[in-house]
Structure 1
Amino acid sequence: MFSRHRTHSRDATHICDLHFTTGTEHWNLKRHYLPQVKLDSHTLITPVSFTTHLTQTFRNPTPDPLPQLRYTFPLYDGVAVNGYSIRYAGNALRGVVKQKDAARKTYQTAVARGETAGLLEALPAGVFGITLGNVPARSDVVVEITYCGELKHDAGIDGLRWTLPTAIAPRYGDYPGELLESDTVADGGISITVDVDMASSAIRKVQSPSHPIAVSLGAVSTATAADATAPFHASRASATLSLGTAELAADFTLQLLIDDISKPQALLETHPTLPHQRAIMATLVPKFTLQPAQLPEVVFLADQSGSMQGAKNAALISAMKVFLKSLPVGVRFNICAFGSAHRFLWPKSQAYDEPNLQTAMEFVETFAAAYGGTEILPPVKAAFENRLHAAMPLEVMLLTDGEIWGEQNLFEYINSQIHGPGKGEAVDARVFALGIGGDVSHSLVEGVARAGKGFAQFVTGGEGLEGKVVRMLRAAVCAHTWGYEMEVQYAGGSDEEEGFEVVEAVKGGFEMVDDAVAVDEAAPKQAEVSAKPAVKSFYDKDAKLDEKATDPSAADPYAHLPAIETPKILQAPSTLPPLFPFNRTTVYLLLGPESSQRDVESITLRARSADGPLELVIPVHKSALVDGVPTIHQLAARKAVQELEEGRGWLQAATEGEKYASDPRCDEIVEREAVRLGETFQVVGKWTSFVAVGELHGRDAVVVENAETDDEGPPPSDFFGQASVTPGASSGGLCGASCFMSPASVTPGACATPSGFMSPASVTPGALAASGLPVRSSTASTAVMHTLIALQTFSGAWPSTGALYAALAIADPGAVELAGCGGDNAKATALAIAYLETRVPGQRDVWEMVVTKGRLWLAGQMDAAVGEALEGVIREAAAYV
C-alpha cells in the first residue's frame, strides 16, 4: 500500500478550486484558478437526515471562452449527491444521472457542438470531480450542488453532529499556480446557514466546536414575516456563519443536543414520480445491557505518522491513557504504534494486570509521531494474524488522522476477515475507528468501521477525545449479537382478511417470502411462439466479410448479462450491522411496486445474543417530502449502491454460494444493478454520473469515449493538473486546456466537406483513385502497420503522441489541419486510418477490424447530424500520410 504524506491545508499543493491548465509538459504545466466570488450554503437538518444546497459563483475574467475547467471536492462518506445544475449568462442547465459512459458521451457531444456543459463524477476516496466545458468569456458561472446524508451520532455530547467540509471553500493558503484577478468587484465571502427542524423534539443546545456562530432559537431562517407572531417552537433553530472572505480555515462542525435523541423512529416516504414505490428509514439509538460471554482481546492501533505531531499527538496520548485505565479486568490487550512502519508492544496480547498496565503506560509515553508516512494495512493485518485464539472475540481500535492511497485494499482485507469469503469462515472480530483532526479522511474512517462492523467517531479542534474513546471502549467490550432480521407489518386487508396480520420478512437484503434471488441465464422471459426459427446456412454465398452482426451493447452495455430478479423489498445495509448501546444506527427499506401496497404499520427488528433473543417494534409514520425531493429514497439507494461497490450489497449477500458467485460476469452484474439504482433514484456513485447539458435536439448523444479515459472514470491526476492534462490528451478527447477556441467555432457545419463520401466497405484502392486521393504502393512497410495497431487503444482511438507521428513520418504535427475533428486525438485517429487504408491496402484483412473500431470512435467524436463528413476528414488526412 502506498502512503500519503499529509500536509496542512496551508501548504497543500492540490487546492480544490475551479481551474484550467496550460502547458504541454510536466515542467511547464501551470494552473490558472478562477476567482470564487461567492459561496452560499444552506442546510436543513431534520430528525433523521440533512440536506445541503451549495451555491458557488465563479468568474471567468478573461476575454476568451474557456474550453475546459476542472474542480474536485471531497464530500463526507455516505452522502447522496442528488442535484447538480449550472447557471450562466441567463441560461440554466439541470443535471441528470446517467450511466457513467453515457454521461461522458452526452457531455462530449454538447461540448463538440460548442455548448456549455457540465459533468459531475464520483472519484475514489469520497472525492467528486466537476468538469465544465465551453465557459463563456467575462461571465459568472454558478454551480449548484445538492446532497443529503444521515446525521452522525456524537458520543462526546450524546447528541447529533453535522459537518460542512473545508473544501467547499478551498481558497485557503497559497495557490500552486495563478489566481486570476477579476476586473469587476462582486460581493464575495461565505454565507453558511443551518436550519434545524426537529418536529416534536425540543432542541436543548446548538453549538460549534470549530467556528463562532450566531444561533436563533424558535424559528428557521426561511420563516416568513407572518411567522414572526407565531408561537415559539422549541423544536426549531437556525445557526449562521458569515465570513467576509472566501476562505474557510477548518471544517465547519455543528453539534446538536436534542430531546428524545434515542427514541426509535421509522419514517415512510412515497415517491412523487415512481408509481407504487415507497421507502422506509428506521433510526434508533439502542439502550440495552448484555454481559459478554467471554471478555475480548483488545488491540489499539495508534497513528504515529509525522502529521500527528503537536496537539493531536498530545490528545492521542491522553486518550490512550484513558483507554488503558478503563479496560476491564479479564481482557487481553496490545498496543501498536504505526506509520510507514509499525511496532507492537508485545508479539502477542497480554493479560490486563498491573505490571502490564504499567508497561503499556510507559510505551504510550514514548509516542512522538516519528514514524514517517501513513500505512494502515500492515498493522491491521498483523492484528488479525497475531490474535490469541479463534474462540476469543477480537476488538481492534484504530486511531488516526490520516488518509491513504488504496484505501479500498484495506476495506477489502477487513471485509474478508470479518464477513468471510464464504459461509462459516468469518472471524469473530469488530473494528472501530476514531478520526482525529480536520484533515482526516472521512471515507477512510467510516469505511474501516463499516467493513469492520464497528462504528466511527471524529474529533476536531479543541474537542476532547476521552468521552468518545470511552464510548468506543464500552461498545468493544459489549457482548456480540448476531442473526439480525427485519419484518414489515402491514395493515389488514379486505373483510375476509380481517384479524390476520400481513407480514413480509426481510433478511439478508431480500424478502424471505421468495427466499432467493432468481438468476435467469436466458434473456428476459418472452412469450412462447409456435413457429420455429428459420434455419441459417453455414455457407451463404451472398454473405459479405464486411457485414457485422447487430451489437446489442451499442444501446445497452449490459445486454449480454443474465437477467436477475430484483427483490420486492430491498434492505440497506443488506446485512444489518451490530447494534451498539447508545450509538445511532440507521436502516433503509426500498419497497418496490411488487411489494404489498397496504399501509405499513410497523417494522420489527430481531437479533440473537448469548443472553437470548432481542426484539424491537418501531411504529412507522408517514413522512412529507421537503421541496418535492424523495430524500429517503435517495439515501436508501446511495446506501445500497455503496454496499454494492464495497462487495457487501444485496446481490453478493443474496447469492452467496450460488452459481452467481462464480459467474465470471459477476462484477458486471453488480455494476448493472448499481446503475439501475443510481438512474432510478438519481444519485451519483462509482458507475453513474451527473451530466448537465442543453437540449440534444431530440436525439441521444452518440460519442465513443476518448482513449485517455478508463472504466474507473477519469483518474484523479486528470483533475489535479498532472501531465495527462495537455492539449489533445485530456479526458474524453476534448481540446486541451491551452487550446482556447471560441465555442462559436465548433459548429456542426465545421465538419462539412464536398460530396464524394464513401462507406467503410467501399474504401478500396480503385475507389480512392477515382476520388482523387493518392494511392500508395501495397508494398509499403508492414512494420508501420503493426506499430499503428499496437498504438491503438481499447476504445478504438489513436492518442496524439510522439510515437504515432514518428511512425507516420510527420515531423510537424501542428501543421496538420483537419476541419472539425474536435481535438488532437481525433486528428491522430484520422491520420492512422488514412495511412492504413492508403499505404497498405493489400493488408486489409489484417487492419480491417482495427480500422472499423477507429472509424466508429471517430464518427462518435463528430456530431451525429454530420456523420457523413467522416470520409471527407479521412480524405483530408490522407494528404498528410
Structure 2
Amino acid sequence: MKTEQAGLYTREGAQVPLQGVEVTGELLGGHARVRVRQRYRNGESRPVEAVYTFPLPSDGTLSAFSMTCAGRRVEGVVKEREEAFRAYDDAITAGHGAALLDQERPNVFTAQVGNLLPGEETVVEVEFLQAVTAEEGCVRWMLPTLVAPRYIPGAPSGDRTAHGSVDPTNRVPDADRITPPIGNVHYGLRMDLLVDLGREVVVESPSHVITVNREGGTRMRVGFTRGEVSLDRDLVLSLRSSDTSAVFTPLVTHRKDASGPGTFALTVIPDLLSMASAPPKQEVVFVVDVSGSMEGESLPQAKAALRLCLRHLREGDRFNVIAFNSSYRSFQSQPVPFTQRTLEEADRWVAALRADGGTELLEPMQAAVRAAPDGVVVLLTDGQVGNEDEILKAVLAERKTARLYSFGIGTNVSDALLRDMAKQTGGAVEFIHPGERIDDKVVAQFSRALAPRVTDLEVTFDGVEGVELAPTELPPMVDGVPWTLLGRYPTPGAGKVTLRGKSGREPFALTVRVDFPAASDRPAVEKLWAAERIRGWEAAQLTGRRAESMKKRIVELAVAHQIVTRYTSFVVVEERTAERRASGQPETRVIPVNAPAGWAMFDTAKEEAELGALPRTRGIVGKPMAPGMPQGIPVPPPAAAPMPVFAGPARSVVPPSLRRPAAPAPKKVMSAPAPASSKGGFLSKLFGSGGAPPEPQPFADDESLREGASYDTGAYPAIEEDDALFASAEEPAELEAPVELEQEKARRGPGAEALLGRQLANGLWDGPGAGPEPVRQARATALALLELLREGITSSHPLHGAQVKKAVEALLSLASSLTGAPEVAELALGVAWLAAAGPRTRGRIEQAAKPLAGLNGRMGNEVALREHVDALAAR
C-alpha cells in the first residue's frame, strides 16, 4: 500500500521511527547465538529519540550491542549501569548520537536511540546467547517478539523514570518500564537463521510458515516463507533428528589463537526414560502459603497451580498437601497413594483454602521434609521471615535426599532462604513478579522436578584435557533437558569425555567421543563459557572484602567478553562533528507494539494506543482509567463496546461482544476441523445427551487469550527489495492481520478446563454406555483429546500438556486390550498420535498401530489421519 509519507504516525502527525526488525544468527549444538536488528529512520525535520521496549529470552546472555548510522558501525561498550546512563545522557546533550540498552526484567529490555537525524537511517543490533530446550529428543528454540500487556495491581506510587503507558504503583514500582503502548503497527519481523547441530535434522515451526534451504553437510538456512511477519506471537522452531538415538550430544568449539587455549561446549540431551525399565514412584509434598498476604490474586493462582500439579502424578505415587499461616494443617496425616478417590478429595480440600493469618514457615517445612525425606517438596509462598538460618538448618537436618522446589510470589519474599534451600538440596527456585502468572512457572518447574534424573555427576577426560570447567558444581542431568558442560582445552586432540553419576540407586555412565580442533571459529562458545563462569561467581554470594574482590573479577571478565551482568550495561556513543551534530534536546518517540495475536479486545482501541511527541526526560502520561479499572487497560473510545477488565494475571476475560467475527478459513489449514456443536457432537458422546460436563471447580486461568491455536502465519505479503533486509521506507509493506483458525475463541465449547477437570487419576476419561470398561474408557478418552486438539492443546501445551501426555500414555497401555474393538483402537491410537508432540512417543504409537489396517499409510500424514479419526468419532 502506497502513501504520501511512509511509516506509522501518531495522532499529532509525528512519525514512529522504527521501520522493521530482523532476527539473524546461528543455532549450534545446544545453544543459539542470535542477533536482533532494529532499523530506525527519522522522517521528521528535527532530531528525535526513539524508545523501544522489547523482549529477549529470560535465559539469554546479552553479549553484544552496536549502532550503525551514516555507514559507520560503532560497537557498544560495557560499563557499570549508572555510568552507562551518564555516558548516554551526556552524549545526547552534547549533540552526539548514542544508544543505551537497559534490562528492565530478565526478559524485558529497553533500547533508547538518541539524536536520530532527519532522513537518516540507524540500525541497532542486540546479540544474545541462549540455551535451547528439548522434548523427547526434539530440540526447541523460542524467541518472544513483543512485550504483551499485563495486569498492573496497586495504587500509583513514586516518580516516573521511563516511558511506559502506566504509572509506577506500590506493588509494581517499575510499571512505567514494562508497559509499552499498543498500536496499529506496520513494522514487521524478518528472519535469517543458520542451523547446524552437527547432524541431519528436520526443522519445523508450529508458530510460523518457514522455508528451509540446505547449504551442504548439516548446515541449513531458515527464513519466513512470506519474507516478513507481524511481531505478535512467539517464534518457535523445532529441530528433530531422524535418528532417534537415546542421547543427543552436540559439541561446539572455538580456538582462534594457536598458542592459546580453546573453549568447548558439550551438550547432552538425555533420553533417560528409554534407559529405565519403569519410572520410579514419586513422593511429593506441596506446602502452600495461605497467610493474609496471599489474599487477592495470589491464592487462587496458587490453588490452580496445585490442581495442575496433582494431575502430573501417576497412580502409585504418594502425595500430601500442607497449608500454613500462623499454624499449619495437612490434607492427610501422612502422604497417601494417588488414586481417583484421593485426587477428588484433594481437589475439594484445596478449593476450600482461604487466606488469613501470619507466616510461620518453620514447622510446616519440617513436617514436609520429614514426611518425604527422599522425595520432592514444593513450596509456594509470598512472605518474608526473620528466622531464615533456623529454617534452613531444620530442613537440612530432616531431609535425606529430598529436593526442594520453591516459588517466591511477589516482591516481598525471603529470596535468600529460598535460594539456599534450592541450592543445598539440588532443587530449584523461581521468583514470580507482580503481573506474571503463577501456574505457568509452577507447572513447568514441577514437570522437571518429577522427570527422571542423574545426580552426583562427575566428569573425566581421556586423551584430552578440560580445565576451568563451568559450572564448577555439575547440576543433575534431567530427562529431555539439555545439559551443558563448558570449559577450556589447553591443547587440541581427540579423546573421550565420561560422565558418571546415579540414576536413582543405579549407577549411570555415559561416554562421548570428542575432537578438540587446533582451529575453530565459534566465538559464541567463549562468551557462553565466560557467562557461565560469571553466574557461578555471582551465586557464591560472598560478603565483605571478598565480595568487592569478586565484583571486580566479574566486571573484568564481563568487559573482556562484552557481556551484560547485573553490574554492567551496554552504551554506544557516536562522536559527531559539523552539521551532523545536533543542537537542543531531541523529542522522544515511544514505539508502539502489536497487540498479541488473538487478543481481539485491542481492535477497538488501536487509535488510543498511538503516542505523540514527549520530552525525553519526563516520560509519558498514562491513559485515563475508568473508575475501578485496574491500571494498564486503556479506556476505549466512547463508541466502542465496554473494555473488559483484567481480573488479574491469571484470568483475562474477553466478553463475546468484544470478540471479532470468525475469519475466513485460510488456504493452508494444519489443525482440526471446526468443533462440533456441544449438543449432538463429540461432547454429547462423551458426557451424554446434555452435551456438556458438570461444571467442576474452575481452574484459575482462562486460556482464551493465550492458547497455542494454529494460524496461517504466512499470510503476509512478501517485501520485494533487492539487497536489503527491510522494506523501503517510501513503500512500506502493509502486513495483513493473522487469519485465526478454530473460528475464534467465542465459538468454543464447554472449555478445556471442564474436560481436564474430569480426567481420572489413571489418565483416562470415562463415558456413558455399555461395553467393557477398557473399550468405553478408550473411546471417551479419544473423544476428550479430540476436543482438546480443537482448543489447540497437545502434549506440548505449557499448562495442560502433562495431562495430555498422561492420557496418551494411558491409551498406549490400553491398546492391547482393544483387539476386539478395532475401530475404537484406531480412534484411540490415531488421536493419541495427533495429541503427542514428541517424536519418541509418536514412534511408540506407530509401533502399536501396525496391526491396524485403518491406520496403515495414515500415520505421518496429519490431514488424512485427522479425517479418519473424525469419521470414526462421528459413528
User: Scaled by the length of structure 2, what TM-score is found?
Assistant: 0.49
Bigger Rg, structure 1 or 2? 1
